[in-house]
Amino acid sequence: MKKILSILCMLSFLTGCSFTNNITKDTPTKKVEHFFNNYQSLDNDVLTQLDTVVDRETTFTEEQKKEYRDIMKKHYQDITYEIKDEVIDGDNATVTVEIQVKDYSKILEASDTYLQEHPNEFNNEAGVYDVALFNKYRLEQIKNAKEKVKYTLNLTLTKTDDEWKLDKLNDIDENKIHGIYNY
């Protein structure tokens, strides 16, 4: 599960870079707005990348893959953001944005703790640990997440060939967007 969540973090970078055309007014703020709007609107590229990542997950059953896709789609639609500032210095810019996302990090940590304290609950009928049973438990916990957290991100952009492009996000910002930042 952590592997799939970390792979999803790569979507943040990929999504930001793949949607740089057809924007009426090319400003750093507009690029950041477009970046988050692609998640909220479940842009086809976002969904294709999500499907690719989820399909690579080997510990999920097909039903769990579908459930996880649905959870992440809802997560993307529920991301809220507010642009706080834009600073341009030549061909470099920083856009400060406050986001609010569901806090999955606490759920993941609590699920891991629960597994350590109750390992037998995730054994199959033969008494052997079954990762599918644990994934089912964890997905149920994630699906029921209600607590949200706000983060401030300072996203950097670079102007290349008269077009602003979002720079690769750092791991911390990616984790914050996906609700898995462990603070």
Of 175, 169, 146, which is closest to residue 74 (Cα–Cα)? 146
151 assigned to some structural domain: yes
CA angle in degrees (0–180, nearest 5) for 134-137-140: 145
- Read off the amino acid at residue 106: K
pLDDT at 19: 43
170 assigned to some structural domain: yes
Give the total number of structural domains in the chain. 1
Sheet of strand 148-160: strand arrangement: 80-89, 92-102, 148-160, 163-166
183 assigned to some structural domain: no
CA angle in degrees (0–180, nearest 5) for 134-172-82: 105
> What is the residue range of 16's domain?
2-177
Query: What confidence tens digit (pLDDT) does each residue in 22-72 have?
Result: 444 799 999 999 999 999 999 998 899 889 989 999 999 999 999 999 999
Query: What confidence tens digit (pLDDT) does each residue in 154-165 have?
Result: 999 999 999 999
pTM as predicted: 0.82
Tell me the torsion sign for CA atoms 117, 9, 73, 177.
Answer: positive
Residue 112 pLDDT exceeds 70: yes
119 assigned to some structural domain: yes
182 assigned to some structural domain: no
